[in-house]
Amino acid sequence: MEFELWYLIVVPVLFVAGWWFRGLDQRQREKEHEPATYYKGINLLLNDQPDKAIDAFIEVVRLDPETIELHHALGNLFSRRGEFDRAVRIHNHLLNREDLPEHERSLALFELGNDYLKAGIYDRAEDSFQRLLKEPEYHLDALRALLKIYCTEKEWEKAIDVANTLEKQAGENHQVEMGHFHCELAALAMRAKQYDQAREALQKALQVDRHSVRALIMLGNLAMLNNDPQTALLHWSKVETVSPDYLPLVMVPMAQAYEASGQHEQAMNLVHRALEDHSSVETLSIALDLIVKSEGEQAAQKFLKEELVRHPTLWTYEKLAELRLKDHPQDSELQLLISLLKPYVSRPGRYRCSHCGFKAKGFQWLCPGCSSWGSYSPKREEES
């Protein structure tokens, strides 16, 4: 068979053409497969099957890496599942794309900042939101995120600056929060025995929030540190005027300040008034101590009997039984009754956040559960 030269040209061309058409066919099949996979992922997501939905979306992203919306959806899915490292990688991948439109870049940066925030990587979250301050569309949201970061990191000066900016630019009211921020600065100064700085911070707290019960209480505490019970009583007495519900928080120190000043009658008047309006275990305890010291145990028993009629509680009954046992130390039935009551009385009630219901053993100004300021009732839950 005679060998023709044109074979050398046609055969390679046919080979290349076949290879190209095969690739075109493969790409076409992938393009056709992509929508089906995408809708499958949506369907799985709607049927509350996020694991399988994520697998489907990952397949779509593999087939078409240019799909911006799907990258965002996938990043949000990872974030909701707590897989913040994978969410960060997705959003970083978007940010590194040179062809990404500016509004999509800003969205990716915002989502990245939220990923870092949820993961507790606050320095990187702060950096992301600081960069977004230049973007009008995300400026206010970035400020709100920064405020949350500064509160978590206890950077109170920065938190005050951001809260002031939000009040001016967004018309939001952050007076209560700023009052607490100044009180936090005062607490730091008091621990460092910088009492002048603490007093200045508390005065600023009252300037931004004239109803700041916390600032009044702390000013009284500060006066007691300086051995000035009269000034302490002046500040604490304003608590009843500003917010009577918070009087139980200062009942004990007020009564002690009256006693330290030799004003026993005023201490008893305060306690009896508080028992009528805001009866609590703490108030009953200080009243009982004052009566025992000044009038004796018989008067204390009479007081507890009257209190049982007004506000019957296990704590009051157990204390009355303990006083009676002193008069009848051989009474085995009374001893048994006290031993039965003791486990229930020894468990103090919990303070409860009115926003999220988080319970705490001690009173909190900032809820550990939802980060709300001043959301705890000053009375324990069992006393409400």
Q: What is the pLDDT of residues 230-253, one digit of tens each?
A: 999 999 999 988 888 888 788 888
Look up residue 299 and give its two tokens.
Answer: 């008067």
Per-residue pLDDT band at 61 (split at 50, 70, 90): very low
Q: Is residue 30 scored above 50 in pLDDT?
A: no
Q: How far apart are CA 372 and CA 384, in angstroms?
A: 20
Note the pTM of the prediction, 2 decimals.
0.74
CATH of 173-242, one of 1.25.40.10, 3.40.50.300, 1.10.510.10, 1.20.140.10: 1.25.40.10
**Residue 56 contacts residue 40 (beta carbons within 8 Å):** yes
Which range, 47-61, 127-141, 343-357, has the best average confidence (pLDDT)?
127-141
281 pLDDT above the threshold of 60: yes
- In this prediction, residue 206 has a pLDDT band, given cuts at 50, 70 and 90, of very high
Q: What is the pLDDT of residue 1?
A: 44
Q: How far is CA 172 from CA 130, 139, 142, 162, 205, in A?
A: 20, 14, 15, 11, 18
Could you give the percent of the chain with pLDDT greater than 90? 32
3-state secondary structure of 256: helix
Helix (H, G, I), strand (E, B) or coil at 351: strand
Please name the residue that has the structure tokens 């900016």: 165
pLDDT, mean of residues 21-25: 43
Average pLDDT for 152-170? 96
- Kindly report the average pLDDT of the chain as a whole number: 80
pLDDT band of residue 47 (cuts 50, 70, 90) is low
Mean per-residue pLDDT, 81-91: 78
- In angstroms, the CA 189 to CA 222 distance is 11
Residues counted in the chain: 384
> What CA–CA distance (Å, rounded) separates 302 from 110?
66
Q: What is the mean pLDDT of residues 312-340?
A: 85
- Asked if 223 and 231 touch (Cβ cutoff 8 Å), the reply is yes
Q: CA–CA separation, 296 vs 36, rounded Å?
A: 86
Which residues in the chain are classed under CATH 1.25.40.10? 65-172, 173-242
CATH code linked to domain 65-172: 1.25.40.10
Nearest to 355 by CA among 341, 343, 373: 373
